[in-house]
């Protein structure tokens, strides 16, 4: 670890998940911990997120952003991919295995996550809609469970694909749905047991605790 920290990420000043590590800075922190890259955080309030200074970094006024040298990047999936590629970690060397690990990253964010996010939307008509949304989630989880089987990770060794998939599946903890798929439950716990995950989790929790005067 060098004394000069050149990587900066932007995170919620006060995360709406109250430090449960479900905000989108979590996979970025986790990836940085996996590759051993120290980083600093810039805290942004909900108001500051919508200001021009932040929007210059993140066009949609969201978190996280990633800055290193003259590179400014947004989208958690893209940042995790960049970290994996830049540090030559978190992706297999074999070209075909690498392509498949990247497929799992896109799959986590574009196939598995959307119904999970929809379940978390709280609007008056959601109770009515919930059974169908949960059916969609179970379709995805059943398929993913069948593919994972008794393997530890989706594509050989732990990869950026697992990092994104575990990050997405963690959103289901409170729902109990994950318990219906024992191998997926174990898969998520296996990800959360990684020392890099724990360091990332503790770091984001510390931000929330400090913001809450804890």
CA angle 71, 72, 73 (to 5 degrees): 115
Listed ranges 6-14, 39-47, 108-116, 187-195: which one lies at the site for its own copies (CB under 8 A):
108-116
Cα dist. 29→80, 97, 138, 161 in Å? 9, 24, 28, 15
Chosen residue from 18, 55, 189, 198 binding its own copies by CB under 8 A: 55
> Could you tell me the smallest distance in angstroms from the CB atom of residue 55 to its own copies?
8
Which of 124/213 has CB closer to its own copies? 124
β-strands 71-74, 40-44: how paired?
Answer: unpaired
Report the SS3 class of residue 137. Answer: helix
Length of the chain: 214
* Structural contact between residues 69 and 79, judged by C-beta atoms closer than 8 angstroms: no
Which of 132/210 has CB closer to its own copies? 132
2 binds its own copies (CB under 8 A): no
Listed ranges 1-9, 36-44, 135-143, 182-190: which one lies at the site for its own copies (CB under 8 A):
135-143
* Structural contact between residues 31 and 90, judged by C-beta atoms closer than 8 angstroms: yes
> Could you tell me the smallest distance in angstroms from the CB atom of residue 213 to its own copies?
32
Q: Which helix (H) or strand (E) holds 209?
A: helix 195-211
81 binds its own copies (CB under 8 A): yes
151 binds its own copies (CB under 8 A): no
Listed ranges 106-114, 176-184, 193-201, 206-214: which one lies at the site for its own copies (CB under 8 A):
106-114
Beta-sheet strand order (sheet of 71-74): 40-44, 7-12, 65-68, 71-74
Count of beta carbons in the 10 Å neighbourhood of residue 99: 12
Chosen residue from 70, 88, 195, 213 binding its own copies by CB under 8 A: 70
Q: Which helix (H) or strand (E) holds 35?
A: helix 25-35
Listed ranges 33-41, 96-104, 179-187, 198-206: which one lies at the site for its own copies (CB under 8 A):
96-104
Site residues for its own copies per CB under 8 A:
55, 59-62, 70-71, 73-79, 81-82, 95-96, 99-100, 102-103, 105-107, 109-111, 113-114, 117-118, 123, 125, 128-129, 132, 139-140, 143-144, 146-147
């Amino acid at each position: 670890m060098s004394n000069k920290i050149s990587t900066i990420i932007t995170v919620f000043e006060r995360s709406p998940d109250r430090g449960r590590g479900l905000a989108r800075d979590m996979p970025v922190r986790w990836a940085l911990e996996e590759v051993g890259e120290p980083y600093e955080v810039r805290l942004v309030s909900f108001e500051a997120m919508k200001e021009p200074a932040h929007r210059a970094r993140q066009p949609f006024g969201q978190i996280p952003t990633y800055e290193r040298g003259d590179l400014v990047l947004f989208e958690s999936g893209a940042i995790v991919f960049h970290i994996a590629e830049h540090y030559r970690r978190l992706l297999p060397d074999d070209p075909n295995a690498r392509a498949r690990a990247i497929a799992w990253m896109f799959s986590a964010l574009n196939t598995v996550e959307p119904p999970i996010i929809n379940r978390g939307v709280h609007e008056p008509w959601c109770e009515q809609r919930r059974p169908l949304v949960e059916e969609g989630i179970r379709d995805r989880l059943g398929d993913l469970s069948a593919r994972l089987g008794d393997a530890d990770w989706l594509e050989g060794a732990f990869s950026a694909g697992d990092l994104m998939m575990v990050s997405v599946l963690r959103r289901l903890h409170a729902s109990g749905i994950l318990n219906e798929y024992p191998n997926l439950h174990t898969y998520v716990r296996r990800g959360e047991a990684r020392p890099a995950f724990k360091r990332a989790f503790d770091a984001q929790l510390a931000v929330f605790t400090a913001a809450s005067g804890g």
